[in-house]
Amino acid sequence: MKTQTNMAIKARIIRWTSYLLLLGAGPAMAFFGAQGLTKVPPRTLTFAERVSYQRAMEKVYWQHRIWPQENPNPKPTNVHDSLGNTLGSASASVGILVGDVLGDGSVGNRDIDNVRTHLGEQANSSNFRNDVTVDGRINNQDLQTVRSHRGESLP
């Protein structure tokens, strides 16, 4: 029973840490610039791109701020580390790789094939990773974006 409880607590820590990291990734990229995370030359975002990225981040934030009724799991509270200390906050590092739709840490042909498989679809909860341009549809722009990042990987 204690092992299950500890594993459930660890799973909650990991899940909520990833939520916090996602929320901090946009401001971190804006502050440090994309060149700090990848080795591609920086590009200037248009105003429309900035607005769409900001909306996407806010959507993720608000979807996870309010605990959904469909989620039967309790909200994580009183999270403890391996020594039993209650964590008031936690930190972790995260890497963001544009075009890594499979989440394996690199952009390759499998990512391109995955986007190609979903071309023409509306983005939804099962295929949203393929909507790289965050415009609500999986289209040729997404495919071109993934292709342009082929060969890149997280350190």
Could you tell me the domains of the chain?
1-89 (no CATH), 97-155 (1.10.1330.10)
30-54 pLDDT, tens digit each: 666 555 555 556 677 787 888 888 8
Cα distance between residue 112 and residue 48, in whole Å:
25
pTM recorded for the entire structure: 0.45
Percent of the chain clearing pLDDT 70 (strictly above)? 59
Name the H helices within the chain.
2-32, 47-65, 109-117, 140-148
Cα distance between residue 131 and residue 141, in whole Å:
9
60-110 pLDDT, tens digit each: 766 655 555 666 666 556 667 777 777 666 555 667 788 999 988 899 999
